[in-house]
Amino acid sequence: MGSRASIQLQEAELNEIQSETGFSHNQIVRLYSRFTSLDKGAIGCLSREDFLRIPELAINPLGDRIVHAFFTESNNETVNFRQFMRVLARFRPTKSNQNKNKLNTREEKLKFAFRMYDLDGDDKISKDELLSVLHMMVGANISEEQLGSIADRTISEADTDGDNQISFEEFVQAMERVDVEQKMSIRFLH
């Protein structure tokens, strides 16, 4: 299964990805086959359009933000397989590997969530950013004022230094009682 993919994927690169991300050999081969099927232009990397061609991602209210995470990782207009895997590695379950890699720690998972709110990438969540993300999540179902009060409450609860914004440290504190390891982990079967 998927042996065609493993031929193109160099054994050396596969081993590097394995040690960097902690994915098993079989998982990498399977994900490479997925990567190539998403890569419609067959150029070895993915564009934003390639991602958003997945219908279920395109209708995800935060689909754009999730895709954006891949391009933050690559810092480029395209995403190669290595970068693709580094982002996916954030969603590996935490418990099964203690010291293998640093990509799926609680902190990395929280960073992923934090960056989804941080639209301008200044490492702070402002009220406007929070409002925009809330807007994406609820659509037209909740009124502007109600969203405003949700945003105000959220910021005042999390903001400890009084700058009316949420820094990553404050975000981590606000998430203290959340089971991040469970909510941000995907169950791999292989």
Partner 1 sequence: MDGEFIKLTLNLLCSTVCCVIGLTVVLAAIGKSLGIRKLYTSVLLSIFEFGKSKIERYEKQRYQREPKDSESHDDSDRSDKETTKNGGDPLIQRDIAIDAYQGIRIPSNRADYDLTNLKKEFHMSDIMYFAKCGVETIIEDEVTKCFTAEELRTWNFLTRTTHGHQYVSVRLTVLWCLGCLLRYLLLPFRLVLLSIGLSWLLISTAVIGLLPDISLRRQLNRYASLICHRILCRACSAVVTYHGRENMVKNGICVANHTSPLDVIILSCDNCYSLVGQRHGGFLGLVMKLLARTADHIYFERSEVKDRFIVAKRLKEHVEDKNKLPILIFPEGTCINNTSVMMFKKGSFEVSDDIYPVAIKYDKRFGDAFWNSSKMGMVQHIFDLLTSWALVAEVWYLPPMHRNENESAVDFANRVKKEIARQGGLVDLSWDGQLKRMKVKDSWKTKTQDDFSKILKVD
Binding site for partner 1 (CB under 8 A): 1-4, 6-7, 24-27, 30-31, 34, 37-38, 51, 53-63, 66, 87-88, 91, 93, 96-97, 112-113, 116-117, 133-134, 137-142, 146, 149-150, 153-154, 158, 166, 171, 174-175, 178, 180, 182-190
Asked if residues 51 and 84 have their Cβ atoms less than 8 Å apart, the reply is no
Cβ closer to partner 1: 43 or 54? 54
Query: Least Å distance between CB 48 and partner 1?
Result: 12
Query: Least Å distance between CB 66 and partner 1?
Result: 4
Q: What tokens does 78 get?
A: 């395209």
Cβ closer to partner 1: 11 or 77? 11
Task: Provide the residue count of the chain.
Answer: 190
Which residue type is seen at 31?
A: L
Q: What are phi and psi of 131, to 5 degrees?
A: -60, -45
The β-bridge relationship of strands 79-80 and 166-167 is unpaired
Asked if residues 135 and 147 have their Cβ atoms less than 8 Å apart, the reply is yes
d(CA 139, CA 143): 10
Query: Least Å distance between CB 95 and partner 1?
Result: 9
Cβ closer to partner 1: 24 or 76? 24
